[in-house]
Amino acid sequence: EEKDRFVAQLYKFMDDSSTPINKGPQIASRDLNLYRLFRIVQNLGGYNKVTNQVKWPIVHRKMRLPLTVNAVNQLKSSYNK
């Protein structure tokens, strides 16, 4: 229920910002669970802390995504967008 509310609010926010999400982000051909990504980053202290303390590889590991050349950078970029 909390996940559904988060996703609905995210899509509404992006629509209102004139940057609608037409297709969810993917990493290594896998759909990115935006709610899970948000929760992991928040639990690690938020975007600034994760970025400043170079914790994106930890986020990647916790997301259980395949390790590809740009996966960590793609994850950070997807969160930032």
| Bridge partners (DSSP) listed for residue 27 | 30
Domains of the chain, each with CATH number or no CATH: 25-80 (1.10.150.60)
| Regions of the chain where pLDDT drops below 50 | none
Instruction: Report whether 7 contacts 1 (CB < 8 A).
Output: no
Stated pTM of the model: 0.85
Instruction: Give the closest residue to 51 by CA, choosing from 76, 34, 25.
Output: 76
Instruction: Report whether 25 contacts 32 (CB < 8 A).
Output: yes
Question: What pLDDT, on the 0 to 100 scale, is given for residue 41?
Answer: 97
Amino acid code (one letter) for 80? N
Question: What pLDDT, on the 0 to 100 scale, is given for residue 66?
Answer: 87
Question: What pLDDT, on the 0 to 100 scale, is given for residue 68?
Answer: 84
